[in-house]
């Protein structure tokens, strides 16, 4: 039997609760589809930082490197200053493990969860591939004369061709494998970002013309893309974009698919170890109340299986989630309004696999 080693970071707030439900579903999927998951728990997050001053130590990165995948519940603590945990844990893992793809499937499961008038599940079903380790997130830049009236600060959208190429290549391969409209939309702002944007535009075209003649090439400026997400989301199949633009449009995408209760993402290193997470935060005020929605975490677990190569099991989880959400049993996707508890939602999905 195939077996995989998975690092589990439950994290802060409601992170451990949603993680439990995801593992509950995986515990059913494993025996059914013939694989085994061996878990190692890592104590990472705001609590640990407050106790020890440590975020994600280098020694832990070295251990994570040896795993087949990482599952992350949520990171975020009301007593920790913003930025410390984001940079010290999430971004550190992305950079150190070179998780250069942020994969965000955007799928509306139920019409009633969509804030857009007249849109149905068939209209909102696309994937955003966000470059995950470059651009403005690299932190290149600086500040001079800080605190004076003449202060100058820069933060640079830096991209090298190899970093753009590997991302665009992943996106083309993904579009081909997805096999729907076979259209890859590049989202950028090349009308203004005539250097950094142009590098993406040329790479998208060159790779497409050379190796992916079966894939349609499409382009949106990022500002226009936000309008089309609202007006005509059914246009999209797969989107590829740079880091900051991707950060912004994937939040918009999350809300049109029904919100953070269902939005899942993967930080992928196609040649290394990837990390999967529900997009919602740690939601500290709901901690321990059994009211948070675990669907996003369960969907993230499905993505993890897909990336590990357990495609049939991943499809089964997606079907189970879709089935449960359309059973009429879950009233709303919002925390505290589901009409049942976190653990009951997990039970329902697990029973449907
Ligand atoms: C995300 C988050 C992170 C980001 C933050 C928490 C650093 O917003 O995963 O989208 O900006 O990438
Ligand atoms: Mn974000």
pLDDT of residue 297: 98
Average confidence (pLDDT) over 223-238:
98
Mean pLDDT, rounded, for 162-171: 98
CATH architecture, domain defined by 1-101+257-353:
3-Layer(aba) Sandwich (3.40)
Where along the chain do the CATH 3.40.718.10 domains lie? 1-101+257-353, 125-256
User: What integer best gives the mean pLDDT of the chain?
Assistant: 98
Q: Which atom of ligand 1 is nearest to the CA of 90?
A: 7
**Whether the CB of 247 sits within 6 Å of ligand 1:** yes
Residue in 103, 133, 247 to alter for ligand 1 test, most ligand atoms within 8 A of Cβ: 247
**171-196 pLDDT, tens per residue?**
999 999 999 999 999 999 999 999 99
Q: Hey, whose CA ends up nearest to atom 3 of ligand 1? A: 86
What pLDDT is attached to residue 275?
A: 98
Residue 22 to residue 26: CA distance in whole angstroms: 6
Quote the ligand 1 centre to 247 CA distance (angstroms).
Answer: 7
Residue 133 — very low, low, confident or very high, per pLDDT cuts 50/70/90?
very high
* 47 CB near ligand 1 (under 6 Å): no
User: Residue 268: its pLDDT value, please?
Assistant: 98
Gyration radius from the chain CA atoms: 20
Q: Which residues of 4-31 are buried (b: 16+ CB within 10 A; e: fewer)?
A: bebbbbbbbbbbbbbbbbbbbbbebbbe
Q: What percent of the chain has pLDDT over 90?
A: 100
The DSSP output letter for 285 is G
Helices assigned H by DSSP within the chain: 15-33, 46-52, 58-65, 84-85, 92-96, 161-178, 196-211, 222-231, 243-256, 295-308, 311-325, 342-352
Give the distance between the most distant pair of CA atoms in the chain: 66
Closest C-alpha to ligand 1, atom 1? 247
Ligand 1 atom 6, closest CA: 86
- DSSP designation for 133: S
Check if 86 has its Cβ closer than 6 Å to any atom of ligand 1: yes
Q: What CATH number was assigned to the domain covering residues 125-256?
A: 3.40.718.10
Percent of the chain with pLDDT over 70: 100
Q: Which tens digit of pLDDT belongs to each residue from 59-112?
A: 999 999 999 999 999 999 999 999 999 999 999 999 999 999 999 999 999 999
* SS3 of residue 132 by DSSP: coil
Model confidence pLDDT, tens digit, residues 291-342: 999 999 999 999 999 999 999 999 999 999 999 999 999 999 999 999 999 9
- Residue 210 burial (CB < 10 Å; 0-12/13-18/19+)? exposed
Nearest CA to ligand 1 atom 7: 86
- DSSP-assigned states of every residue in 231-261: H-GGG-SEEEE-HHHHHHHHHHHHHHTT-TT
Q: How far is the CA of 106 from the centre of ligand 2 (A)?
A: 14
CB 187, CB 229: distance < 8 Å = no
Does the C-beta of 18 come closer than 6 Å to ligand 1? no
Decide whether any atom of ligand 1 lies within 6 Å of the 347 Cβ: no
Mean pLDDT of 37-50: 97
Q: How confident is the model at residue 238, as a pLDDT?
A: 99
Per-residue pLDDT at 239:
99
CA angle centred on 270, ends 266 and 273, rounded to 5° = 70
- At residue 88, the pLDDT reads 96
For ligand 1, pick from 91, 249, 267, 278 the residue to mutate: most ligand atoms within 8 Å of CB. Answer: 91
- Mean pLDDT within 263-290: 97
Please tell me the predicted confidence (pLDDT) of residue 186.
99
CB-ligand 1 contact for 91 (6 Å cutoff): yes
Q: What pLDDT, on the 0 to 100 scale, is given for residue 48?
A: 96
Which atom of ligand 1 lies nearest, measured to the CA of 102? 9
* 10-23 pLDDT, tens digit each: 999 999 999 999 99
Give the pLDDT band (50/70/90) at residue 237.
very high
pLDDT bracket for residue 42 (50, 70, 90): very high
- Three-state secondary-structure class, residue 117: coil
């Amino acid at each position: 039997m195939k077996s995989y080693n998975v690092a589990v970071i439950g994290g802060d707030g409601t992170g451990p609760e949603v993680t439990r439900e995801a593992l509950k579903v995986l515990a059913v999927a494993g025996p059914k589809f013939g694989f085994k998951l061996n878990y190692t728990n890592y104590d990472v997050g705001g609590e640990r930082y407050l106790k020890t001053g440590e975020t994600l130590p280098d020694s832990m990165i070295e251990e994570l490197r040896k795993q087949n995948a990482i599952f992350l519940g949520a990171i975020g603590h009301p007593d920790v200053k913003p930025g410390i945990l984001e940079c010290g844990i999430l971004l550190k893992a992305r950079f150190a493990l070179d998780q250069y793809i942020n994969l965000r499937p955007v799928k509306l499961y139920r019409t009633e969860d969509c804030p857009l008038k007249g849109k149905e599940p068939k209209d909102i079903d696309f994937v955003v591939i966000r470059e995950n380790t470059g651009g403005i997130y690299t932190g290149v830049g600086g500040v001079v004369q800080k605190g004076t009236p003449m202060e100058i600060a820069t933060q640079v959208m830096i991209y090298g061709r190899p970093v753009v190429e590997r991302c665009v290549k992943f996106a083309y391969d993904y579009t081909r494998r997805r096999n729907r409209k076979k259209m890859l939309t590049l989202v950028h702002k090349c009308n203004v970002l005539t250097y950094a944007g142009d590098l993406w535009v040329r790479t998208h075209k060159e790779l497409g013309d050379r190796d992916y003649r079966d894939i349609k090439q499409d382009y949106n400026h990022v500002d226009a893309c936000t309008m089309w997400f609202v007006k005509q989301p059914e246009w999209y199949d797969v989107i590829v974009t740079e880091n900051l633009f991707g950060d912004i449009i994937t939040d918009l995408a999350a809300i049109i698919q029904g919100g953070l209760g269902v939005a899942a993402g993967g930080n992928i290193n196609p040649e290394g170890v990837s990390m999967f997470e529900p997009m919602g935060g740690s939601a500290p005020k709901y901690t321990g109340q059994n009211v948070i929605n675990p669907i996003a975490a369960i969907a993230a677990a499905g993505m993890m299986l897909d990336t590990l190569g357990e495609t049939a099991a991943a499809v089964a989880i997606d079907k189970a989630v879709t089935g449960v959400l359309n059973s009429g049993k879950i009233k709303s996707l919002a925390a505290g309004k589901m009409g049942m508890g976190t653990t009951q939602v997990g039970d329902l999905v697990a029973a449907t696999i």
